[in-house]
Amino acid sequence: MGVTIKDIAALCGVSPGTVDRALNHRPGISEKTKARILQVAEQMNYQPDHMARSLAKGRTMTIGVVLFDLYNRSFSQLMNSIEAASRQQGYFVDLVLTNKDPENEKKCIEHLLLRKVDGIIIFAINQGEAFNDYLKSLSIPVVTICNYVSDDWSYIGIDDREAMKEAVRYICGKQYERFIYVCPPLAYRGKTNIYTQEERLAGCLEGLKESGIEAQPTVITDKDYIGSISRMDFGSGTKTAIICSCDIYALEVMNHLKGRGLRIPDDVGLMGFDNIDVLKYVSPALTTVEYAVEEFGSRAVQCVIEQIEQGTRTLVPRLPYQVITGDST
Amino acid sequence: MGVTIKDIAALCGVSPGTVDRALNHRPGISEKTKARILQVAEQMNYQPDHMARSLAKGRTMTIGVVLFDLYNRSFSQLMNSIEAASRQQGYFVDLVLTNKDPENEKKCIEHLLLRKVDGIIIFAINQGEAFNDYLKSLSIPVVTICNYVSDDWSYIGIDDREAMKEAVRYICGKQYERFIYVCPPLAYRGKTNIYTQEERLAGCLEGLKESGIEAQPTVITDKDYIGSISRMDFGSGTKTAIICSCDIYALEVMNHLKGRGLRIPDDVGLMGFDNIDVLKYVSPALTTVEYAVEEFGSRAVQCVIEQIEQGTRTLVPRLPYQVITGDST
DNA sequence: CTGAAAGCGCTAACAC
DNA sequence: GTGTTAGCGCTTTCAG
């Protein structure tokens, strides 16, 4: 159906090899014939066949992207920027979604391997040495994003620990006496990759300590964290702050607190993390931490392409963040 | 690097052709040799080369997906289900994002063509006969989703007109005297594909008419619709309902109304459409229309694969919807 | 500077 | 039943 390199060769009275040299601007061809070939190619509206080229070169111009899902706002934004950056660089994107299931993640990666992707950008749910070795065995560039796996791979993200610490220090200036930290993923400690969540927790603990808060916070890791909170009393004088590791949890908690008729921040303080865009429709404005997740995407693409094409790896610095002081604390 | 069909052939002492017959369960091979070949393939952990197969068969096992972006919640859910359904059927997914730019949409489709996708699922921003002819010229199956192009293509969606009509009839039972319809995309009438938005508007008008409302609603198509609304007075006795063609607009309007100190629904009634999941964090609960967008995805995949593999096209019925009566009207 | 030819790994038509 | 062969369209090496 399409016009091939042979057609052009025939029409120009040259060999396919020569056409290839012209088309790919390789040396060993006179300007004259090259110009002629390019012109004919143009006229015939020649489109190189990606499949054939991939087969011959062993490269597919495809980046595999492994994410949990697209439900979390941040992931969507991430994917948006990955798609744009990739296509702009002439790469295709193969998206696979793991649904936070470690087994499924492996299937997803296998799927990408079948496709012979040139590199992978992954928000990993697996972790540990075995997984790291598995990634190594793929022998293609891998860029980790949002969840660290090991120093063997570039990592794109913010310094979650510092960010949370800074946010918590801010909260601590508000006379809270009791602190509750909400982070259900911590229940999967040792089972799945919760690097980022661990960092945030650590940052919280450090932040409290540095602020001179002696009492340890209550850490809620229940999947049914709302249930746990519903059994807690917030009326009794001691002013409580609930710090959530993600905005989503904070929003759920907010709904719950409102349902109980508790006022935020007067009765209970509330903080999230991520500054997802729907926050603007919610009141009171949530105190949270913001960072440019779109930039994660473009950086990741740039980083993986560099490894694919140059074979070099430039260290990507931790990206900037900012504490957003809302009205909820 | 991988083990090929030749390696297996050599090891089994048969020809590549025979291995192919075994691997693809084609007739013309004895059970005995087939079993032996399959076993060896298994042992050697043979993985067929997708590129080579595609080149030979002229099929890539890839579905191209064209969406506006992933920002709108519904799109994310859609993509989630498309990814899952595709992978489950052994297909790859190539996602391209148009950002609602008609020119970019063409580039996106070209990108998919380079990739030689077997079929396309598209939420179109282009429209009209020229575009329809363009799609025809691709000579691969196309499934339209959420925005109708023509009867040449399967269409997945709800009956937006009826849905909006039903919702508006519900609103009309609430003694409103003045109606405002908010739908910025209508400003692009004739320029981009706003089929769904047109349907919703028509449904609104019909709903009002059937409810015996004489006065025409004020239709706001400004990009700066908040600006337009800010210039309107809602205090003066006549009870107003603001009907938005999407939840997103409704949420923006809600923010604005709250900012003005207006009470919803006491001072102004407000309605959205889509029932995006963030509504649960917003109060008052928005009156809206719900439908299973995930099902759009799985239906679309099923539909495009049927066309790719069987060459047949089964009419997909309009999917069900439901008016959600909230506290905002 | 250009042509010829041998692949990339798999499929499919035609012999035997 | 099984082997042989000629591609799919492009790249790349080796002659000339």
Which residue minimizes Cα–C1' distance to C13? B17
> How far is the alpha carbon of B50 from chain A, nearest alpha carbon, in Å?
6
Q: Measured from the CB, is A28 under 7 Å from any atom of strand C? A: yes
B131: Cα separation from own chain's centroid: 18
Q: Is the peptide bond before A265 cis (omega within 30 degrees of 0)?
A: yes
* Average pLDDT rounded to a whole number, residues A206-231: 95
Q: Place A171 in a pLDDT band, splitting at 50, 70 and 90.
A: very high
Q: Report the distance separating Cα B56 and Cα A52, nearest Å.
A: 9
H runs (alpha helix) in B115-224: 128-138, 160-172, 195-210
pLDDT at A1: 63
Amino acid at B245: S
Nearest to A70 among B51, B76, B111 (CB): B76
Q: What is the pLDDT of residues A4-52, one digit of tens each?
A: 999 999 999 999 999 999 999 988 888 989 999 999 999 999 999 999 9
Residues A181-216: tens digit of each pLDDT: 999 999 999 999 999 999 999 999 999 999 999 889
Beta bridge partners of A94: A64, B94
Identify the pLDDT of residue B1: 62
| pLDDT-based confidence at residue A122 (cuts at 50, 70, 90) | very high
Beta pairing class for B178-182 and B240-244:
parallel
Count of Cβ atoms closer than 10 Å to residue A231 Cβ: 6
Contact A288, A273 (CB under 8 A): yes
Task: List chain B residues with CB under 8 Å of A47.
Answer: 113-114
CA nearest to B249, candidates B216, B274, B281: B274
Closest of A138, A136, A137, A168 to residue A149, by C-alpha: A136
Find the CB nearest A50 among B77, B115, B252. B115
Verify if strand C has an atom below 7 Å from the CB of A16.
yes
Distance B13 CA to D4 C1' (A): 15
- The structure tokens listed for B86 are 């595709």
Distance from CA(A28) to C1'(C7), angstroms, rounded: 21
Per DSSP, the three-state class of B283 is coil
Note the Cα A160 to chain centre separation in Å.
13
- Does residue A266 carry a pLDDT above 80? yes
Alpha carbons B19 and B279: distance in angstroms, whole number? 56
In the structure, how far is the CA atom of residue A4 from the C1' atom of nucleotide C7, in angstroms?
Answer: 18
Take residue A140 and report the two structure tokens written for it.
């293609």
Helix (H, G, I), strand (E, B) or coil at B236: coil
**The amino acid at B220:** I
* DSSP assignment string, B291-314: E-HHHHHHHHHHHHHHHHHT---P
Q: Decide if A99 contacts A125 (C-beta within 8 A).
A: no
Give, for all 329 residues of chain B, the pLDDT tens digit.
689 999 999 899 998 899 999 999 988 888 889 999 999 999 999 999 999 999 999 999 999 999 999 987 789 899 999 999 999 999 999 999 999 999 999 999 999 999 999 999 999 999 999 999 999 999 999 999 999 999 999 999 999 999 999 999 999 999 999 999 999 999 999 999 999 999 999 999 999 999 999 889 999 999 999 999 999 999 777 899 999 999 999 999 999 999 999 999 999 999 999 999 899 999 999 999 999 999 999 999 999 999 999 999 999 999 999 999 999 99
Q: What is the DSSP secondary structure assignment for residue B276, as one 8-state letter?
A: -
Q: Which of B146, B109, B150 is nearest to B127 (CA)?
A: B150
In this structure, are strands A240-244 and A218-220 parallel, antiparallel, or unpaired? Answer: unpaired
Contact indicator for B1, A116 with CB cutoff of 8 Å: no
Q: Could you tell me which residue, A277 or B236, shows the higher pLDDT?
A: A277
CA neighbor of B203 nearest in space, from B192, B211, B193, B214: B211
Q: Are A66 and A123 in contact, with CB atoms under 8 Å apart?
A: yes
Q: Which residues of B touch A252 (CB under 8 A)?
A: 281
pTM over 0.85: yes
- Hey, CA dihedral for B142, B148, B153, B158, is it positive or negative? positive
- Among left, alpha and beta (phi > 0; psi -120 to 50; other), residue A223 is alpha
Residues 51-80 of B with CB under 7 A from strand C: 52-53, 55-57
Q: Which residue is nearest to nucleotide C3 (CA to C1')?
A: A15
- The separation between CA A87 and the C-alpha centre of its own chain, rounded to angstroms, equals 18
Radius of gyration over every alpha carbon of chain B, rounded to an integer in angstroms: 26
- Nucleotide nearest residue B3, measured CA to C1': C9
Q: Is the peptide bond preceding residue B265 cis, with omega within 30 degrees of 0? A: yes
Q: What is the pLDDT of residue A2?
A: 83
The 3-class SS string of chain A reads CCCCHHHHHHHHCCCHHHHHHHHCCCCCCCHHHHHHHHHHHHHCCCCCCHHHHHHHHCCCCEEEEEECCCCCHHHHHHHHHHHHHHHHCCCEEEEEECCCCHHHHHHHHHHHHHCCCCEEEECCCCCHHHHHHHHHHHCCCEEEECCCCCCCCEEECECHHHHHHHHHHHHHCCCCCEEEEECHHHHHCCCCCCHHHHHHHHHHHHHHHHCCCCCCCEEECCCCHHHHHHCCCCCCCCCEEEEECCHHHHHHHHHHHHHCCCCCCCCEEEECCCCCHHHHHCCCCCEEEEECHHHHHHHHHHHHHHHHHCCCCCCCCCECEEEECCCCC
Chain B: nearest CA to A213, how far in angstroms?
32
CA distance A185 to A285: 25
